Amino acid sequence: MERTGNAKIMDGRCIADEMCRMHMRTALELSRRGLKPRLSIVMVGEEPASKLFVRNKVRYCEKVGVDTTVIHKPSTIDLEDLLETVKSLNDDPNINGILVQLPLPKHIDPYKIFSALDPDKDVDGLTPANLGRLMHGDEVLSPCGAKAVVKILEYYGVELEGAEICIVSNSILVGKPLSMILTNRFATISICHAKTKDLSSHTSNADILISATGVPLLIKASMIRDGAVVVDVGISKIEGRIAGDVDFDEVACKASMITPVPGGVGPVTVAMVVDNLFQAMKLQGVM
């Protein structure tokens, strides 16, 4: 494990590489049985970050042997047309997984889209049914970003039971589901967000700090306790370079472990898409 400053680097790429080898073996075994995993990604509009995320997912799927189709829709699409697209994918017995890339245009209510999606094909874990399952401790199809954070922490042996964990995010993609997954492991959770007063008073008491706001360099060394574990889920661009929520060079001198951006949570999140796809196939009785 690399070090920078005083902190050990929690390398997501090596975890994703291990998952990739496992997924390749699973896909090969399915192929021997005459089965081909199939994922459909619905992308609305031409948002550059979304295009990058979709491209990374497609590349990973192709590498492990998953047949992936990207359905492009214009940003002007209306709700009914998008719902019809989702319904057609729900009804297609050859499609094992569906992923609707976020964000959607402002005139499209994501809740209505995810409410219409077949929960057993929901590889992003964002349907009300799958989020409800998570509340009951069933993590089989839960959001990929949240699962990636926990995978990294557990891979590097970070003790979660009894830990004080501060999550800077109340999103449905990361913050809220992650709080449930960590609560399932008997951690004590505080959730912060844009309206939190005196953010530092919460982050500085945490054994583990997880930030997923998309606000570049939000988290400074003064905001964490000595020896804290820091997980950076955010990704932004500053003057043409990639940056996370965490001021990496500064915080790495004070943290005990830290994830880099890029190369931390991102690669594991992409791998979790295929992990969830295989879980979905089990729910469908295919595997």
198 and 104 within one domain: no
Identify whether residues 243 and 182 lie together within a single domain: yes
What are the tokens at 105? Answer: 């245009």
> Does the active-site annotation cover 124?
yes
Asked if 161 contacts 169 with a C-beta cutoff of 8 angstroms, the reply is no
Task: Determine which one of 11, 120, 122, 124 is catalytic.
Answer: 124
Please identify every stretch of the chain with a pLDDT value under 50, giving residue numbers as ranges.
none
pLDDT attached to residue 3 = 62
| Whole-number pLDDT of residue 49 | 87
Identify the residue whose tokens are 């057993």.
120
Task: Provide the residue range defining the domain that includes 46.
Answer: 34-118
What's residue 2's pLDDT? 62
Q: Which pTM was predicted?
A: 0.95
The CATH number that applies at residue 159 is 3.40.50.720
**C-alpha–C-alpha distance, residues 270 and 264, integer Å:** 11
57 as an active site residue: the answer is yes
- Per annotation, catalytic residue among 11, 57, 120, 151: 57
Whether 130 is covered by a domain: the verdict is no
Beta strands in 21-176, from DSSP E residues, in sequence order: 38-44, 67-73, 97-100, 164-168
Give Cβ neighbours of residue 176 (< 8 Å, ≥ 6 apart).
170, 191
Domain assignment present for 72: yes
The active-site residue out of 101, 120, 151, 207 is 101
Query: In the chain, how many domains are there?
Result: 2
Nearest CA to 124 out of 136, 137, 135, 113 is that of 113
